[in-house]
Amino acid sequence: MSSGRRATAAAVTVAAWSVLLAGGGPVAGAATVAGAATTMAPDGPSSDFSRTVPIGGGRRIHLECRGTGSPTVVLVPGTGGAADEWTHTLDPAHPSAGLKPDAAAVLPRVASFTRVCAYDRPGTTRNDGTTSPSTPVRQPTTAAAGVRDLRAVLSAAGEHGPYVLVGASWGAMITELFARTDFPRVSGLVTVDGASPYLKDTLTPAQWSHWMHKIRAMDPGKGLEVPDYETSVAEIRGAPARPHPLPAAVLTSDEPWDLKVGTGGSTWPAWLAAQDDLARALHARHVTDTGSGHGIAVEQPRLVVDAVHEVVDETRK
């Protein structure tokens, strides 16, 4: 999910996948960020804050955390999406109004029952069309780089596990690798129309090759986030398997869309097959009746909040 969140309900799905292909970018006329948490120094895991956090090497990453309690929920947005992807919603009755800050959005609702954090990866874009203040890095980027940055910013801000990781779209690749490589600190997983390594198996070879070609053909000089799927799939498949299942939920869009790659027809069946594979691999509850396109978090935030609440409750048992 990324720039599509600033369009109509139908366009959310189309634009989000276009950005997944093309690496994101600002869109004019976006809603401005409002209603954010009070900015204050994070004295501990009970402080609400929103600021850029030094992570070493001259780099900083913007992080926002709210609420109290354990486990800490970590929200990981899709390609090009910043932390405010989780603080805004789209009104289905007035989709042309675009995204608006909403107390019923995912982050503020999760903060009502546990600690929750969201961050801006380098090269991401906020809802007002501005680039995140997170220090830019060389693109394309990989899931492993995303995991390193996420660990670094949580540690530097004094946020501690156990974590329930929530990954949307490309963000699900990062949460999957995080869970495999730092299993003791992860207590649950939720994917929100998440990408997965299974797409390489369910897409035809021609579709996968065409998709990767489109990504490689991008100009990374703009500094916008560009996911390296080929390398990331290899990173995930080469990582240790989880020693046992975790409480998990997989949310899948049910409004068809198409990546429009290759010559093998629609990619929608391959997406659904990959979601089924992901749910089986995670031993997860699979929510398929979502009434949503790719941007479930902004179109149907209550579904995401309910899934997170369920996983959090399971981890507390």
The predicted structure's pLDDT at residue 46: 65
The predicted structure's pLDDT at residue 27: 30
Single pTM value for the model: 0.88
Instruction: Give the Cα separation of 157 and 67 in Å (integer).
Output: 15
The predicted structure's pLDDT at residue 16: 42
CATH fold label, 3-316: Rossmann fold (3.40.50)
| List of long-range contacts for 175-178, beta carbons under 8 Å, 24+ apart | 175/74, 175/76, 176/143, 176/236, 177/143, 177/144, 177/146, 177/147, 177/232, 177/235, 177/236, 177/239, 178/147, 178/150, 178/151
Helix (H) or strand (E) holding 171: helix 171-181
Angle CA(85)–CA(230)–CA(7) in degrees, nearest 5?
25
CA pseudo-torsion sign 101, 106, 107, 108:
positive
Q: Where are the domains of the chain?
A: 3-316
Instruction: Give the Cα separation of 117 and 108 in Å (integer).
Output: 10
pLDDT in 10s for each residue of the chain, 317 residues: 343 333 333 334 334 433 444 333 333 223 322 233 333 333 445 689 999 999 999 999 999 999 999 999 999 999 999 999 999 999 877 778 889 999 999 999 999 999 999 999 999 999 999 999 999 999 999 999 999 999 999 999 999 999 999 999 999 999 999 999 999 999 999 999 999 999 999 999 999 999 998 887 776 678 899 999 999 999 999 999 999 999 999 999 999 988 888 887 899 999 999 999 999 999 999 999 999 999 999 999 999 999 999 999 999 98
